[in-house]
Amino acid sequence: MFCKYQKIDNLVSYGILPLQEQEKIPADVVCAMQKAQQKGIAREATQYFSLQEIQQKFEEEQIEHLPLKGAQLKKEYPSPDMRFLTDLDILCQKEQQGKIQEIMESLGYTLEHGGGHHDVYVRNPFMTVEIHWDCSTENRELDVLLEDIWSKCIRKEGFAFAYQMPWEEYYVYMIGHMAKHLKYGGIGIRMLLDLFVFAQKKKDSCDWKKVEAYLERGRLLKFSETMQRFLQQCMEEDESFFEGNILLEHIIGSGAYGTMENHMGARLLKEGGEKKQIRRTRIRLVLTMLFPPLEAMKELSPAVRRHAFLLPAAWIWRLVTKTIFANRKGREALKSAAVTEQVDQMDRVCRAAGLYE
């Protein structure tokens, strides 16, 4: 259950299943691990062939593209299916947005929502593709450094329009992405595994002075060093390290994507500042969740995107669906906005991680 919560059950199955001959492993555990491995292999095969299909079309239509995040690093894992991918993330040029939509729809994808930093396409039963227009980490300095990522990319062998990041930029982007997740909801074990695999396979071949210069400008060098040191301590099996370690407790409790409580605590921490402002910020946050501004609603509602005058009607519909008919996630979000204890918790976690003094 813990491995499933962290989305590492498929990876752990590779360690558990070979032990059946030496250890007495409960049958239900073996069965669960076998299913996890089978599902992981099937998911990887689906995503692999879907990416090949998209890249072939992009090549034909001369669409420059750069697979992001796990799509690049998973090849460095012992088996690519060990690196769980929720969806495919691909960086493209914003000016080709219309052409890309035509291509994706021709492949059976539907634009679920667009606008902002990326467009999200879905093809049933379980393929999701995010087409990104930038490498935003919500860190202003890093984002400036990554703005001209196209000029730094390396053309992928055998392709005319497919690229991959140099590993120095990849690491900086990975750290920026990790810091963003930690600030806005939490990080889980999978992100630590990415750090571990990178350190094992690519770190020694990188220009580390260049990496550190990037991170220094983004004020994330201390965070990077803290997470590398934390990872090393995890591997040393020092029992004292595991006692009362707030960062470890956070990672274990955050699951694969963070929790709603962490997310709301982090938002209150960011927007509320001092304690006296938390209550006022909490009220403002709830109102923003129920009545997002026009630009946010354009991303959430195709109708508002086409006709801005429908904003009041969309707000009423959102108020009803987010309160009376809210799903579990929606109810948790509203409830979490009232929890002030999580603000202090997220403050301690961020300090322990070296995100700020």
Lowest mean pLDDT among 160-169, 176-185, 212-221, 274-283: 274-283
pLDDT of residue 206: 95
pLDDT at 201 over 90: yes
Written as six digits, the tokens of 234 are 């995890």
Mean pLDDT along residues 42-51: 94
Helix axes 328-336, 260-272, angle to 10 degrees: 40
Residue pointed to by tokens 């993330």: 89
pLDDT of residue 286: 65
Phi, psi of 5 (to 5 degrees): -60, -35
pLDDT at 275 over 60: no
Residue 227 to residue 354: CA distance in whole angstroms: 8
- Which residue type, as a one-letter code, is found at position 11? L
Lowest mean pLDDT among 36-50, 66-80, 341-355: 341-355
pLDDT of residue 210: 94
Under 8 Å between Cβ of 7 and 85: no
Residue 77 to residue 75: CA distance in whole angstroms: 6
Residue 113 to residue 340: CA distance in whole angstroms: 32
Q: Percent of the chain, pLDDT > 70?
A: 88
Most confident of 22-31, 98-107, 139-148, 328-337: 98-107
Residues 6+ apart with CB under 8 A from 131: 90, 92, 97, 100, 104, 118, 119, 120, 121
pLDDT in tens, 279-318: 566 656 666 767 788 877 887 787 888 888 888 888 888 7
pLDDT of residue 276: 45
Three-class SS of 230-281 = HHHHHHCCCHHHHCCCHHHHHHHHHCCCCCHHHHHHHHHHHHHCCHHHHHHH
Whole-Å CA distances, 291 to 5, 115, 117: 31, 18, 21
Model-level pTM greater than 0.75? yes
Residue 139 to residue 43: CA distance in whole angstroms: 32
pLDDT in tens, 202-252: 999 999 999 999 999 999 999 999 999 999 988 887 778 878 889 999 999
Q: What angle do CA 35, 40, 45 make, to 5 degrees?
A: 130
Whole-Å CA distances, 160 to 65, 131, 151, 348: 10, 19, 15, 47
